[in-house]
Structures are given as structure tokens and as C-alpha cells.
Chain A
Amino acid sequence: GENVEQHPSTLSVQEGDSAVIKCTYSDSASNYFPWYKQELGKRPQLIIDIRSNVGEKKDQRIAVTLNKTAKHFSLHITETQPEDSAVYFCAATTNKNTGNQFYFGTGTSLTVIP
């Protein structure tokens, strides 16, 4: 089955700096890659997603890049702010004949230092 690895597990940056989180996946059939932000005690919230027919997507300070050949995708947050502090999860979705499969990374705890 699919295996999603996420790095780093923790990340601290100064306010205003950029943060990059990387994920790799193993199943070439995976075709949808969302990123979620989860604050302590709250539900995961979608922040950006990308499909396999697109190489890059940007939404204000957040961007995601996908390299299908290398099977990796990355989240980029620019001009970080203290409210960006949270745990971020990447995920990969695979559509099989038996239905869908969703695989999450282990999370990156991002701390933005004011």
C-alpha cells in the first residue's frame, strides 16, 4: 500500500521567514495531495491541495509543489506569522477498484517565533 513520509517532524522559524515541509509517497497511482493545518485540540483544516495533473499551486502566502517523477510534494509558507504555529499534515489519495484510500503523514509541528 501507500506510504507517506513527512519531514521535518518539528520546525521553528522566526516571524517573517519562510517554512518548507516535505512529503514523499510511494504509490504512483496517488493523484490528490491535500495539506491540513491542525491547531491544538481542533479539527484538521484544509489549507491547500493539488492534483496530479498540476505541478504547482499558490494561495497568498501558501504554495504547494508536486514532483510526480520523484514522488514528492512540498508545502511552502512565506512571511510566516505567529498564527501559522500549528501541526501540519500532508496526505495522499489513491483511487483503487475497491474504493479510495487516504494516507496521512506523521505531521510537522511548526513554531513561529515572534
Chain B
Amino acid sequence: ETGVTQSPTHLIKTRGQQVTLRCSSQSGHNTVSWYQQALGQGPQFIFQYYREEENGRGNFPPRFSGLQFPNYSSELNVNALELDDSALYLCASSLYSSETQYFGPGTRLLVL
């Protein structure tokens, strides 16, 4: 059984740029959720994708968007990057949308 993986591990961008982060769900899982974790804080829910459809969204602006592919892997896209977007971005997969989530190692994004 393969765990949740994310790429890249680290990324540096400048303000105003766009970024795409990727997540491969654990084998057999059809749901992916994305979180933003600022330093010293708890993860903040961005959105969830279940069977390629958005299935819940947190309090994030529309410049945060996502996709889920037929193999259940997922992308998080952030447009018009701001300095406050610097954080650890975590994805988590689950067997179904309400089931236990298992986290990936995260992508650390630094916006300069």
C-alpha cells in the first residue's frame, strides 16, 4: 500500500506569481483534502475533492483552486501569490469524503 505523496517538497516564488502543487492519494482512496499550515498554527482547510468534484471549501479566496484527476490525484493552484501564502501545504487522502484522513509530507512554499 502506497502512502500519500506530494511534490515538490519545497518551492520559492515571488509575489504575484502562480504555483501548482501536486498530491497523489493513498492507494484505494478517492478523496483528497488540502490544508494550509502556517508556522506554529493548526492546518486550515482549503477544500476537498471527492470523485473529481469539489466537496466542501474553507474560507479561502477564489485564487485558490483545485483539480482532481480520474486516478484521484489532485492539484492545488494558487494565483497572484501574496507574502501571507508562505506556509506548509498539506494534502490528505481518505477512502470516502467523511472518513479518516491520512496526510502527505507537505510542500513548503515561500513567497518573497
Binding site for B on A (CB under 8 A): 1, 6, 32, 34, 36, 42-46, 49, 89, 91, 93, 95-96, 98-107
Across the interface, name the chain A residue whose C-beta is closest to B54.
A99
Say yes or no: is B72 at the interface (Cβ < 8 Å to chain A).
no
In the assembled complex, the Cα of A6 lies from the Cα of B43 at a distance in Å of 13
Binding site for A on B (CB under 8 A): 33, 35, 40-45, 48, 50, 54-59, 90, 97-98, 100-106
Report whether over half of chain A's contact residues are helix, strand or loop; otherwise say mixed: strand
Pairwise interchain contact A34-B41, C-beta atoms closer than 8 A: no
Pairwise interchain contact B100-A99, C-beta atoms closer than 8 A: no
Which of A6, A46, A98, A100 contacts B97 (CB under 8 A)? A100
Pairwise interchain contact B97-A99, C-beta atoms closer than 8 A: yes
In the assembled complex, the Cα of A43 lies from the Cα of B26 at a distance in Å of 14
In the complex, what residues of B have CB within 8 A of residue A105's CB? 42
Pairwise interchain contact B97-A44, C-beta atoms closer than 8 A: no
In the complex, what residues of A have CB within 8 A of residue B43's CB? 44, 89, 104
In the assembled complex, the Cα of A36 lies from the Cα of B92 at a distance in Å of 12
Question: Would you give 24 A-B contacts (Cβ < 8 Å), ordered by A?
Answer: A1-B59, A34-B100, A36-B103, A42-B105, A43-B106, A44-B90, A46-B100, A46-B101, A89-B42, A91-B42, A95-B98, A96-B56, A99-B97, A100-B55, A102-B35, A102-B45, A102-B56, A102-B58, A104-B42, A104-B43, A104-B44, A104-B45, A107-B41, A107-B42
